[in-house]
Amino acid sequence: MVNLPALVDELGHDPKPIFEKAGIDLESYRDPDHKMPFLVSDRLLTICTEETACDHIGLLLGQMAEPSHLGLPGFLAHAAPSVEDALVALVDALDLHDEGGTVLLNLGSEFSSMSYSVHLDGVTSIAQINDLSAVMMCKIMTLLCGSEWKPLSVRLGRIEPQDRTPYRYFFRSPVFFNSTECEVTFSNHCLKKKPPTADRLLFQHLEKEAKFLHDLQHGELMDVLPSVLRRCLLEGKFSAGAVADALGFHERTLHRRLKASNTSFRHELDSVRRMVSEQLLAHTEIPVGDIATTLGYADASGFIRAFERWSGISPNAWRKQILTP
């Protein structure tokens, strides 16, 4: 997001008062090493979208960005010995740069995909974050595979914009809106390819640096659990055993540590389901039944009962209330 002030100016607005409205010092923001909490970035992006009246500001911002703006994860992808190694490294290290999103790599027999989703609650600029993330995924693939590369399809978790032209122009592939996630699908033929930027020794050095930084984090269970739960939901895994496997320990250990934190697996799963359902209800037009399936409910009625327990009203009533000016 480092280019956001220049983009706001390009759209015909003075960035200084807009950044002040978000409570952000513009000079500090221009420092590429300046770190900003995800929710502060989200508020800034929301205000910029409103003030510029540009519904695809995330798409434009992504086009101004480079993979190196992702910091260490971007440099890892840049130096990787193969495209597949680059994508795996990016997935493993993105949390060093991005505290609010979950990236997932699905490797198939002929086609693969990368997806990005927000796992923090209270995020308001989902549409712009999805646009920005999809562009960045495509730019990384272009860096690794060459300028002729293009995705097979792009799916965006946002309401379809009035003008689809900027999306068709950039992605050069079918773009589908109202998706449950932000996803870029591509052919496997390039995965074993050696990128022009490959540097095995540098890659190994950066891997060690990433491991060192991960070790420093010593993340507590409750810090990492929302991200892991969100990733498991995307993979269709809803059991405590599957989540424990993803965390690297036994299911009994998971329940014991949750109990020590005065919570339960059911409570934490419900919290993530509620957050994801509210994102999809507020930012897409996906039917309630499809949202129920995405969240692992056997039918829509089970999801509706759960949502009414959380919010006191039905999903459709909640969506209507949120979308009514």
Report, as an integer, the average pLDDT of 79-88: 96
Please name the residue that has the structure tokens 């952000």: 24
Domain end call among 217, 252, 270: 217
Structure confidence at residue 199 (pLDDT): 96
The percentage of residues in the chain with a pLDDT greater than 90, rounded to a whole number, is: 71
* Alpha-carbon span 42 to 187, nearest angstrom: 32
**CATH assignment of the domain containing 238:** 1.10.10.60
- Given a cut of 60, is residue 216 above it in pLDDT? no
- Of 22, 37, 54, at which residue does a domain stop? 54
Q: Could you write out the DSSP letters of every residue in 252-312? A: HHHHHHHHHTT--HHHHHHHHHHHHHHHHHHH----HHHHHHHTT-SSHHHHHHHHHHHHS
More confident residue, 244 or 56: 56
- Are residues 155 and 189 located together in one domain of the fold? yes
Residue 53 has pLDDT above 90, yes or no: yes
If one compares 85 and 238, the residue with the highest pLDDT of the two is 85
Q: Do 41 and 66 lie in a common domain?
A: no
**Same-domain check for residues 96 and 186:** yes
Sign of CA dihedral 256, 223, 208, 202: positive
CB environment 105-143: b (16+ within 10 A), e (fewer): eeeeeeebbbbbbbbbeebbbbbbbbbbbbbbbbbbbeb
Number of domains observed in the structure of the chain: 3
**193 neighbors 144 (Cβ within 8 angstroms):** yes
Angle at the Cα of 129 (from 34 to 69), degrees rounded to 5?
40
35 and 100 inside one domain: no
Q: What is the pLDDT of residues 90-142, one digit of tens each?
A: 999 998 888 888 899 999 999 999 999 998 888 999 999 999 999 999 999 99
| pLDDT band (50, 70, 90) for residue 236 | confident
| pLDDT at residue number 247 | 80
176 pLDDT above the threshold of 90: yes
Question: Is residue 148's pLDDT more than 70?
Answer: yes
Contact between 26 and 13 under an 8 Å Cβ cutoff? The reply is: no
What is the extent of the structural domain holding 175? 58-217
Count of alpha carbons within 13 angstroms of residue 226, beta-carbon side: 16
Averaged confidence pLDDT in the chain: 91
Among 193, 217, 241, identify where a domain stops. Answer: 217
- One domain, residues 240 and 207: no
Report the C-alpha gap between 132 and 44 in whole angstroms.
14
pLDDT at 30: 80
Cα four-point dihedral sign 67, 71, 77, 81: positive
What number is the average pLDDT over the span 271-298?
94
User: Are 205 and 255 in the same domain?
Assistant: no
Report, as an integer, the average pLDDT of 53-68.
Answer: 94
Residue 151 and residue 180 in one domain: yes
Domain match, 31 and 103 both: no
The amino acid at residue 278 is E
Q: Which whole-number Å values give the CA distances from 111 to 108, 150, 153, 205, 294, in the listed order?
A: 5, 13, 11, 30, 21
Q: Are residues 70 and 186 in the same domain?
A: yes
For residue 250, the model assigns a pLDDT of 81
**Predicted confidence (pLDDT) at residue 42 exceeds the cutoff of 90:** yes
Once rounded to an integer, what is the mean pLDDT over residues 230-242?
88
- pLDDT at residue 172 tops 60: yes
Q: What is the pTM of this model?
A: 0.80
Same domain, residue pair 213 and 69? yes
By C-alpha distance, which of 317, 318, 322, 316 is closest to 288?
316
Task: For residues 118 and 191, state if they share a domain.
Answer: yes
Considering the domain architecture, whether residues 154 and 186 belong to the same structural domain is answered as yes
pLDDT, residue 99, reads: 82
- Residue 307 predicted with pLDDT over 90: yes
